[in-house]
Amino acid sequence: MPTVTTPDTETGAVIDQRIDRVVPLTTPALLLHELPLDAPLTSAVLAGRRAVGRVLDHADDRLLVVVGPCSVHDPAAALDYAHRLREAADRHAEDLLVVMRVYFEKPRSTVGWKGLINDPALDGSGDVNRGLRTARALLLDVLRLGLPVGCEFLDPITPQYIADTVAWGAIGARTVESQVHRQLASGLSMPIGMKNRPDGSISTAVDAIRAAGVPHVFPGIDVSGTPAIMHTRGNADGHLVLRGGGGRPNYDAESVAGALDLLRKAGLPERVVLDASHANSGKDHRNQPKVAADVAEQLAAGQRGIVGIMLESFLLDGRQDLDPTRELTYGRSVTDACIGWDTTADVLDHLASAVRARRATLPTPA
């Protein structure tokens, strides 16, 4: 055995020179014990994942709709939103598979609020223990309402605390090239959407789907919170999410055809989810219905490669700044601008009728 030498830390001059303080983090097992996924909810999550998988595999001709706030900052408002979404999801169940966006981790271009898990008090105090508890409690509440949930996985540790509740996951535009995130996706139990890079590169996301599709070995934590070597099986349900980038949208028919061609050449299933927000809307929420209308037109024309759409939507339209000196407006996003509820309901109606039109283009079974 080689001798393990540790640096001389007697003077405290070697390690943690830029760590201000260290606070104990609860373990995943403790949180799962406190807020368990009971048997009916477990069945609901499994059913949600299967349903998403069937849409991705074209075994179900509905459209996956991942819709909800850009970020959750107020669990009460998110649950209020979930009640409305649940009604709409039921109404459109024949045509749309609605998954609620319940996003707790925000990747920032530079700096900014990093989401409810990181900072549940919205004031920079960073009470991650409270953030994880609040996030998990809300996820269970949304599941109890009967909605599958979707979220972005950003931190490689947090999935052990919440991933059991999630039916659809995303690796975001800023991390899609990261080996850490591709490895993580290879071990996640739900279908994972890989977003194209912020500069518009689609091939990076295609590479990510391929990388996450195979087994990996990497250091992580197990459910007890113990450091562990994770041996993954690979995620066969990886798929591309087009969100625009490099100053250009990529939801249009020509971009979709190009992306499907890229997937085919890479030997991957030809399927895309179109994000109506982010660079596809130029970050202006008023453009999201226009993007959705274009997507609806492509669906009605018979485009089967489009398996889903993402919408950033909340109770009220637009966005507001986090300002400690002012009370926040209830139901309005504190990150990207969202479409409000009434617009969302119209967009869902429009998409559902486009799915029916696409269905009508199918040859009638003999």
- Residues at the site binding ligand PEP, with contacts judged by CB under 6 A: 70, 103, 107, 152, 172-174, 195, 243, 278
First-to-final CA distance of the chain: 71
Q: Footprint of ligand E4P on this chain (CB under 6 A)? A: 70, 106-109, 112, 278, 335-336
DSSP string, 101-116: E-------SSSS---T
Q: Do 204 and 195 contact (CB within 8 A), yes or no?
A: no
Nearer to ligand PEP, 205 or 296 (CB): 205
Query: Which of 263, 353, 254, 342 has its CA nearest to residue 300?
Result: 353
Say what angle helices 179-187 and 203-212 make with each other, to 10 degrees: 50
The total of other beta-carbon atoms located within 10 Å of residue 180's CB is 13
The total of other beta-carbon atoms located within 10 Å of residue 206's CB is 21
Q: Give the ranges where the chain is alpha helix by DSSP (H).
A: 28-34, 39-56, 75-91, 128-145, 159-162, 179-187, 203-212, 253-265, 288-300, 341-360
Least separation in angstroms between CB 322 and ligand E4P = 12
The total of other beta-carbon atoms located within 10 Å of residue 347's CB is 24
Query: Which of 361, 351, 260 has its CA nearest to residue 310?
Result: 351
Nearer to ligand PEP, 28 or 169 (CB): 169
| Residue 95 touches which member of ligand PEP, ligand E4P, none, C-beta under 5-8 Å by kind | none
Least separation in angstroms between CB 278 and ligand E4P = 6
Least separation in angstroms between CB 70 and ligand E4P = 5
Nearer to ligand E4P, 62 or 195 (CB): 195
| Residue 128 touches which member of ligand E4P, ligand PEP, none, C-beta under 5-8 Å by kind | none
Nearer to ligand E4P, 118 or 303 (CB): 118
| Residue 67 touches which member of ligand E4P, ligand PEP, none, C-beta under 5-8 Å by kind | none
| CB-based closest residue to ligand E4P | 109
| CB-based closest residue to ligand PEP | 172
| Residue 243 touches which member of ligand E4P, ligand PEP, none, C-beta under 5-8 Å by kind | ligand PEP
| Residue 112 touches which member of ligand PEP, ligand E4P, none, C-beta under 5-8 Å by kind | ligand E4P
Nearer to ligand PEP, 9 or 203 (CB): 203
Q: How many CA atoms within 13 Å lie on the side-chain side of 157?
A: 15
| Residue 348 touches which member of ligand PEP, ligand E4P, none, C-beta under 5-8 Å by kind | none
Least separation in angstroms between CB 198 and ligand E4P = 9
Write down the residue that tokens 């009971």 correspond to: 38
Write down the residue that tokens 């707790």 correspond to: 104
Nearer to ligand E4P, 232 or 335 (CB): 335
The Cα–Cα gap between 79 and 140 comes to 11
Least separation in angstroms between CB 149 and ligand PEP = 14
Nearer to ligand E4P, 240 or 355 (CB): 240
| Residue 109 touches which member of ligand PEP, ligand E4P, none, C-beta under 5-8 Å by kind | ligand E4P
| SS3 call for 315 | coil
* Token pair recorded at residue 252: 């249009």
Nearer to ligand PEP, 107 or 126 (CB): 107
